[in-house]
Amino acid sequence: MNALPILAQSVLFNTVSPDDLPHLISCLKPKEATYPKDYTIIEEGDVLDELGVVLSGSIHLVRHDFWGNRTLVAQLGVGDIFAETVACTAEKSLVSVVTCEKTVVLFLSVQRIITTCRSECVFHHAIIENMVRLLAQKNLGLMKKMNHITKRNTREKLLSFLSEQAWKTGSKAFTIPFDRQQLADYLCVDRSAMSSELGKMKSEGLIEFTKNTFELKQSML
Amino acid sequence: MNALPILAQSVLFNTVSPDDLPHLISCLKPKEATYPKDYTIIEEGDVLDELGVVLSGSIHLVRHDFWGNRTLVAQLGVGDIFAETVACTAEKSLVSVVTCEKTVVLFLSVQRIITTCRSECVFHHAIIENMVRLLAQKNLGLMKKMNHITKRNTREKLLSFLSEQAWKTGSKAFTIPFDRQQLADYLCVDRSAMSSELGKMKSEGLIEFTKNTFELKQSML
DNA sequence: TAAGTTATGTTGTTTTTACAACAAAAGGGT
DNA sequence: ACCCTTTTGTTGTAAAAACAACATAACTTA
């Protein structure tokens, strides 16, 4: 498929002029792959030297422990980049990458990205800068998630998460990208316990919700 | 103080030849500062454009919520780098940086690091590559911490943490860099609850410990 | 060394969570 | 419309954690 419009929007290439982009991409050993729904692209423990760009569909970064508890680390969509950490560090992946639907991915060589090539690629140093920003943003994302899950109880985790969503959309009413089980996995709590906590919060007038659409009823920190 | 030997060992500069280092550093607007014990170098919400290198002493990255719960995100020592994320993203800091003892820090301009300068700095692109690796490693560190705190109960968190320490030192007996309160803050649990859980684990023969020295008694995942 | 301070361990109570089992609701496809 | 599957909500119980209060040990420093 035509990856260029999507790549042009991604954090990694949004400063590169559309004219230069095809040449630049061709430098990075691009490989496209299409996966069905619920396909595991990367397994925990895998080692690789390419990062992935989601061209269509969506993916989850998840971890599983020995008792089957699942932790949802992040959900990524079109234009988002994954596996950059494991590719940069050459260490084993701590997460699995699983498709949520039929998904097309473009893989690019990290070695080629961070190693400046000869003068032909005048724009090359631009994407290295972007690579730095990308990693810093990922970092920030992890810290934000940490802000939620380090809360001491379920209600605080929920309020922390919902507040962030409201903040992100700039409105007290918003739709979250998770179903209940996914939200529970994301916040590291039991689904049913979370569900009943949501019920309590609704009956106390703190929040309102139907399906994935929530509304915060009071100012909360 | 003479920062060069320490910088030469740091992730950011360890590939730069010692001869080139002074020139390179001077490009990066270096500023040295000395802080007393328990001094807050960076407050949550601060915005800055410099990263810091610990030249002597040690620091904690911490977060506080409104109920006074403290979360210890990481502990850094000589040669370690902090504030690179907030400096790269130009967003508000999510953590505070507090000294554990008298500490000397060297600040360097992130703008100068990631923007390639004129040809004079032939080694410049080398540290950009290092910057990428540094951020990726930080990322990995956050994921590892996440592996611990996403565990469902205190014992699993402890085992996860202790296993990692054992793995890191390559021995079943090791000394951890935290006291009990700090460990509790790191694992996001109550100190006394953690203390009693440690007691149970000892009485069950799982572990042995005195002060900060632990020993794992059985094979555990 | 004595007194004060900090760190750690212990215990009991209250609150919260996980877990299990089930009911109700919502979709999906034929 | 019907059956089947998935999602969500509800409830009760058992387990775990937070909390508070205190005992003891270790460490400082005057």
What pLDDT is attached to residue A218?
Answer: 64
Q: Closest approach of chain B CAs to the CA of A153, in angstroms?
A: 11
Q: Are B94 and B64 in contact (CB under 8 A)?
A: no
Q: Are B76 and B65 in contact (CB under 8 A)?
A: no
Q: Closest approach of chain A CAs to the CA of B18, in angstroms?
A: 21
The answer on pLDDT for B220 being more than 50 is no
Alpha carbon B201 to chain centroid distance?
A: 28
**H-helix or E-strand containing A60?**
strand A59-64
Which whole number is the average pLDDT over A25-51? Answer: 92
Amino acid, single-letter form, for residue A57: G
What pLDDT is attached to residue A83?
Answer: 94
What pLDDT is attached to residue A221?
Answer: 39
CA of B193 to C1' of D22 (A): 15
What pLDDT is attached to residue A172?
Answer: 87
Q: Are A14 and A8 in contact (CB under 8 A)?
A: yes
Amino acid, single-letter form, for residue B1: M
Which tokens belong to B167?
């793995």
What pLDDT is attached to residue B116?
Answer: 63
Non-local (6+) Cβ contacts of B214 within 8 A are B162, B165, B173, B174, B175, B176, B207, B208
CA of A194 to C1' of D11 (A): 14
Mutation site, A81, A88, A148, A219, interface B, largest B CB count within 10 A: A88
**What average pLDDT is seen over chain A?**
87
Alpha carbon A10 to chain centroid distance?
A: 13
What pLDDT is attached to residue B51?
Answer: 95
The answer on pLDDT for A133 being more than 70 is yes
Q: Closest approach of chain B CAs to the CA of A73, in angstroms?
A: 9
**H-helix or E-strand containing A165?**
helix A154-169
**Of A138, A158, A16, A132, whose CA–CA distance to B129 is shortest?**
A132
3-state helix, strand, coil in chain B (%, to 5): 40, 25, 35
- When comparing pLDDT for B195 and A167, which is higher? B195
The answer on pLDDT for A19 being more than 70 is yes
A94: chain B residues, CB-CB within 8 Å: 140, 143-144, 147
Alpha carbon B33 to chain centroid distance?
A: 19
CA angle B116–B117–B118, rounded 5-degree value: 130
Chain C nucleotides covered by protein, CB below 7 Å: 7-12, 16-21, 27
CA of B169 to C1' of C8 (A): 25
Chain D nucleotides covered by protein, CB below 7 Å: 7-12, 16-21, 27
Spatial separation of the C-alpha atoms in residues B40 and B91, rounded to whole Å: 19
**Of A106, A190, A116, A100, whose CA–CA distance to A154 is shortest?**
A190
pLDDT tens digits for B5-57? 999 999 888 888 888 889 889 888 999 999 988 899 999 899 999 999 999 99
- At B108 the three-state DSSP class reads strand
Spatial separation of the C-alpha atoms in residues A140 and A143, rounded to whole Å: 5
What pLDDT is attached to residue B174?
Answer: 93
Mutation site, B88, B91, B113, B145, interface A, largest A CB count within 10 A: B88
